[in-house]
Structure 1
Amino acid sequence: MFAINHRTKLGLIRIKDIYYASALQPPSPVIDVIYYYHCEIPGPGSKPFHTLLIDVSQEPEALLASFRKSTRNAIRRAMENPCISLEVKALSSLQQSGGEKLEAFVSAYDQFASQKGIQPCNQELLHLLADEERLALATARLADEILCQFLLVETDRKIVAYYGYNTRFSVEEDIEKVSLIGKMNRALDYQCMLYTRDKGKAHYDFCGLTLDPENPEAGNVDHYKLGFGGEIATEYHFMQPVTLKGRLFCRLKALQGGIG
């Protein structure tokens, strides 16, 4: 659990954001509303969020053996390719050594998001997380070419694959390369699981499952993730009013569609 981004809305509503809490936090008189994101228990007007957790306590080979056969084989092929390199490092260490910057990831991800028709990065949140040194960058390269990257968020008990992109939309005509990117993507997820284990965390979190049978494209993403096994979990987003002002604000937000 971590709390960030103390701010005001409408010039007078004092708000605090809390991520990945396992329980509701004690109210504070200096806060009007607490926004909970990815909370393990529901609250008032909760919006459920399904995700997939991978238990990384097993030895690396046992973890690999627990995956779907096609997932396992794809990972092994990528890891056996001498032209492929996989790296997972704290973002702060990369920046200190002149490596990849957060801005470069955001630019590449937002281009991918535009092609895929999904939301761009929440840059304000990422900069706050970077200031707290909660970010790590996972990169898969073919020779010197970056083909996949994930931005990871560290919590007290798990590592979350918060954002990720690959370059398949840029090479759609090259069937072999698209296939290779798929293998590299899986191998990079596995490498992130080993990183999570080395950091002493219990779970690697894929940060989302749609479980929507009416959405075939999202279903393909779910199928990819479920190839790693794991446990489906439900988290909740909601607003917890603390003061009278906070209760009035939450009622207004509920009329507008809820948390946001």
Structure 2
Amino acid sequence: MRYADHMGLLRYGEAWFGEPVGEADDLDILLHVQCDEPVDHTRSEPFQTLMIDLERTPDELLASFDKTTRYEVRRALGRDEVKTSWESEVTRKSLQRFVTDYDAFARSRGLDPVATKRLEAIRAAGALVLSRAELDDAVKVWHAYIHVGGRIRLLLSSTADRSVTKDQKALIGRSNRALHYADALAAQKAGVRWLDLGGWSGQKEGHRRSIDAFKEGFGGRVVAGWNATEARSVRGRLALGAADARSWLLRVRGSR
């Protein structure tokens, strides 16, 4: 996947899960994402994620979830009548709909908006998957994945406005869990062996711990890997050097 940054100044490429990389003279920066080993001559950082083995029956998969997750999945797909959908051939219209909803969610949470050029590059490569959970024709949850080889990895997820009643918040939470289960079944039918939940922090408390606990409800196992950033041009080396300088300055200011 190749794309430019939001200003069109830097040319990025991505290689996922250790896929082979050839010569790329037109790139400034190459991102190696979730490799099994550090990548030579790059800045490599450790990364952990939760992986779910999809080589089992739907009942076995559901049984591997914890008690709360199983209950909420069954209730959402049953009594709540939540509907799920899976789109592996993503249209520009669907991508724009996702971006609009995600950016609204991000603003409400103080998160960065979607890197649209990056998602468009993944879509153009045929590797983007979008799924959603709906109730009464309204989207409650979105998931965006990248599909490479026998593995699918969660990139982004968003939920509908949570500044609502306690019961409505609970419904959104159940819808989210149900969508993860539906995604696993759809990925399984598409021949995917591993579902990657997109990271696991290992924190003991705080917001990240809450996210980890949500993911742990689906079973799976923690897998360690590496992310690496490789400069492929003079411009890329300068950009990474500038990023290092900014990071150092922020650390210095934060220590005062």
TM tier, smaller? 0.7 to 0.9
Whether contact under 8 Å (1:17, 1:37) holds in the other structure is: no
Measure the CA separation in 2 of the matches of 1:190 and 1:30.
40
Q: Which residue of 2 aligns with 1:57?
A: 55
Deviation string 1:181-219 (CA, Å, 9 cap, x unpaired) is 1111101000001111111111111112222225x1121
Q: Which residue of 2 aligns with 1:205?
A: 196
Where 1:210 maps in the other structure, the secondary structure is coil
1:110 aligns with 2:103: yes
Whether contact under 8 Å (1:23, 1:40) holds in the other structure is: no
Counterpart selection for 2:166 from 169, 175, 200: 175
Measure the CA separation in 2 of the matches of 1:84 and 1:249.
46
Percent of aligned positions that are identical = 25
Normalising by structure 2, report the TM-score: 0.82
Whether contact under 8 Å (2:3, 2:117) holds in the other structure is: no
Give the 3 Å change call, closer, same or farther, for CA 241–86 of structure 1 in structure 2. Answer: closer
Deviation of the 1:40 alpha carbon: 2.8
Where 1:169 maps in the other structure, the secondary structure is coil
Measure the CA separation in 2 of the matches of 1:10 and 1:78.
43
Measure the CA separation in 2 of the matches of 1:204 and 1:105.
21
Amino acid at match of 1:237: N
Measure the CA separation in 2 of the matches of 1:4 and 1:21.
16
Deviation of the 1:6 alpha carbon: 7.5
Q: Which residue of 2 aligns with 1:154?
A: 147
Where 1:70 maps in the other structure, the secondary structure is helix
Measure the CA separation in 2 of the matches of 1:228 and 1:6.
35
Q: Which residue of 2 aligns with 1:218?
A: 208
Amino acid at match of 2:169: V
Q: Which residue of 1 aligns with 2:94?
A: 101
Measure the CA separation in 2 of the matches of 1:59 and 1:125.
34
1:124 aligns with 2:114: no
What does residue range 218-237 of structure 1 map to in structure 2 within 5 Å? 218-237=208-227
Measure the CA separation in 2 of the matches of 1:83 and 1:248.
53
Q: How many pairs were matched up?
A: 245
Measure the CA separation in 1 of the matches of 2:64 and 2:13.
36
Measure the CA separation in 1 of the matches of 2:146 and 2:224.
18
Unaligned runs of 5+ in 1: none
Measure the CA separation in 2 of the matches of 1:134 and 1:24.
16
Measure the CA separation in 2 of the matches of 1:254 and 1:248.
10
Measure the CA separation in 1 of the matches of 2:25 and 2:89.
35
> Over aligned residues, Cα RMSD in angstroms?
2.9
Deviation of the 1:106 alpha carbon: 0.8
Counterpart selection for 2:128 from 122, 132, 135: 135
Deviation string 1:9-34 (CA, Å, 9 cap, x unpaired) is 997x8x55223132663555665653
Counterpart selection for 2:86 from 85, 88, 105: 88
Deviation string 1:159-202 (CA, Å, 9 cap, x unpaired) is 1221111125232xx11111111111101000001111111111
Deviation string 1:84-107 (CA, Å, 9 cap, x unpaired) is 211112243xx49xxx62112111
Normalising by structure 1, report the TM-score: 0.81
Where 1:58 maps in the other structure, the secondary structure is coil
Measure the CA separation in 1 of the matches of 2:4 and 2:36.
21
Amino acid at match of 1:21: F
Q: Which residue of 2 aligns with 1:186?
A: 177
1:38 aligns with 2:34: yes
Where 2:162 maps in the other structure, the secondary structure is helix
Whether contact under 8 Å (1:86, 1:139) holds in the other structure is: yes
Where 1:121 maps in the other structure, the secondary structure is coil
Where 1:170 maps in the other structure, the secondary structure is coil
Whether contact under 8 Å (2:50, 2:199) holds in the other structure is: yes
Deviation of the 1:234 alpha carbon: 2.6
Deviation of the 1:125 alpha carbon: 0.3
Deviation of the 1:222 alpha carbon: 0.8
